[in-house]
Amino acid sequence: MSIDLPNDSAILTVQNLSKSFGGVKAVNNLSFSVLQNNIHAIIGPNGAGKSTLFNLITGVIKPDMGNVQFLNQDITSLRPDKIAQHGVSRTFQNIRLFPDMTVFETVLIGTYQFTGGNLLPALFRTKTFRNKESEAKERIEETLKFVGLWDVRNEYAAQLSYGNQRRVEIARALATNPHLLLLDEPTAGMNQKETKELMNLFSEVNHQGITILIIAHDMHLVNSLSNQITVINFGEKLAEGPPELIQNHPAVLEAYMGRAEAHA
Ligand code: ADP
Ligand code: MG
């Protein structure tokens, strides 16, 4: 879904965000902006605070300090379903699929959960609900065709290949019609072919006017897909800029490669 903003304005701004777990400063006074229509990558070693950052942006956890602005509105204190309704959608680092649901059902249930689907109208089958339901089903059909899962819509999601399970998650996130899509290591554990296919998919998503914030380890993917990179280490911003600047940044290479190897 495209929105009426100039391309160089911020869709998301994180200001002085901090979150500690016990003594660990997972995210430490972090500030950055994601510009409209960008594919913005977050990189950093294991434990740098990347997933925590996503949990803070999407309201899964509350920050100790700082705030998150989305489309010039403060979304810091909102519940996850409210944040989703504003147009922020995500996938998780670990695939989360119910074992006994088909691809179609998984995406359908996902849209109800993320859009704060209210149970009462569903029980009474009101006209508004039926309209919403058929709108949702159309949107899901469109999304499943778009990500290449329409042919397997009646198969159990959890029994698909790893690559296709990721696609189910992406479809579930896209079916909510987001302005901003957050992807947490979506290509981890994938072979080159699957990675390439997903990269193409992300480019297409972006061409539809959806801004992407992606956590990734694969430097090739990051350099060829994104137009802005924020490097974080120990919860703090280490560097920021376009890929050509970041990939040759000595401090980044040392911190990122050094610690990444230690975790390999
Ligand atoms: P990344 O995604 O960059 O690998 P995380 O955000 O998962 O890093 O973790 C950052 C730090 O916060 C790590 O030290 C991790 O152990 C810690 N952490 C993350 N979530 C929790 C939690 N729910 N409880 C306690 N510690 C956590
Ligand atoms: Mg993580």
First-to-last CA distance in the chain?
38
Q: Is the CB of 45 under 6 A from ligand 1?
A: no
Per-residue confidence (pLDDT) for residue 257, from 0 to 100: 63
pTM of the model: 0.90
Per-residue confidence (pLDDT) for residue 256, from 0 to 100: 64
Atom of ligand 1 nearest to the CA of 44: 3
Q: Which residues of the chain have pLDDT under 50?
A: 1-2, 259-264
Question: How far away, in angstroms, is 190 Cα from ligand 1 center?
Answer: 23
Dihedrals φ, ψ of 17, to 5°? -75, 130
**Helix or strand or coil: residue 196?**
helix
Atom of ligand 1 nearest to the CA of 93: 2
**Would you give the distance in Å from CA 231 to the centre of its chain?**
17
Q: Whose CA is nearest to atom 25 of ligand 1?
A: 21
**Helix or strand or coil: residue 203?**
helix
31, amino acid identity: S
Question: How far away, in angstroms, is 81 Cα from ligand 1 center?
Answer: 22
The pick from 17, 21, 60, 62 for probing ligand 1's pocket by mutation, whose C-beta has the most ligand atoms within 8 angstroms, reads 21
Residues with CB under 5 A from ligand 2 (ion): 50-51, 93
Give the number of whichever ligand sits closest to the CA of residue 22: 1
DSSP run (H or E) holding 103:
helix 103-114
